[in-house]
Amino acid sequence: MPEPPAYDAVLYDERLGVPLRWWALATMFLASVLVAFLVATPLWVALGGTALLTAVVVAVFVGYGAAHITVAGGVLRAGRARISVVHLGECRPLDAEATRLLAGRDADARAFLLLRPYLRRGVRVDIADPGDPAPYWLLASRRPTRLVAALEASRAHHPVRGGYDAPDSAARWTDAEHREGER
């Protein structure tokens, strides 16, 4: 039988980077801008303006694609948000249609969303913590089944969930104490 992963091991890490086709479109756009500037302005203005616009496009794409989804150490991190796996309910991978509906018509305004328009599939992670105002997290993912498997593995090996023999530790913590211990 395989040994369970170390409690603090990274079970899943995905960067929601901008796809190659966006970079290709941006390159074609910037080339068009350069040609238009070359026709209408001096060379130094055309090159300077295009360089400035290129820097802006790169900064926007890199910033927008910098969001990560990580499962490590009993914590799910999605972008800047994080939650202990102790507070997670059911986790379900969603196909493109289910993700679209849950992000649109069937959405709950209180839900936490980490979506990208270039990622069609996602994962719905129900929140079991009654003190959390978000009923679920909807996370875009390129590999939703792997994310769900990592969340399930992390919950199975978390001390509060019984994966470790911890009779005097986190198993008796209140939610407030548990959250304080994560900080």
**107-157 per-position pLDDT tens digit:** 999 999 999 999 999 999 999 988 889 999 999 999 999 999 999 998 887
Arithmetic mean of pLDDT over the chain: 85
Beta-carbon neighbour count of residue 126 at 10 Å?
A: 14
Beta-carbon neighbour count of residue 11 at 10 Å?
A: 22
pTM of the shown model? 0.76
Exposure letters 92-114 (e unless 16+ CB within 10 A, then b): ebbeeeebeebbeeeeeeebbbb
Which has the closest alpha carbon to 138: 120, 113, 101, 119?
113
For residue 3, what pLDDT band results from cuts at 50, 70 and 90? low
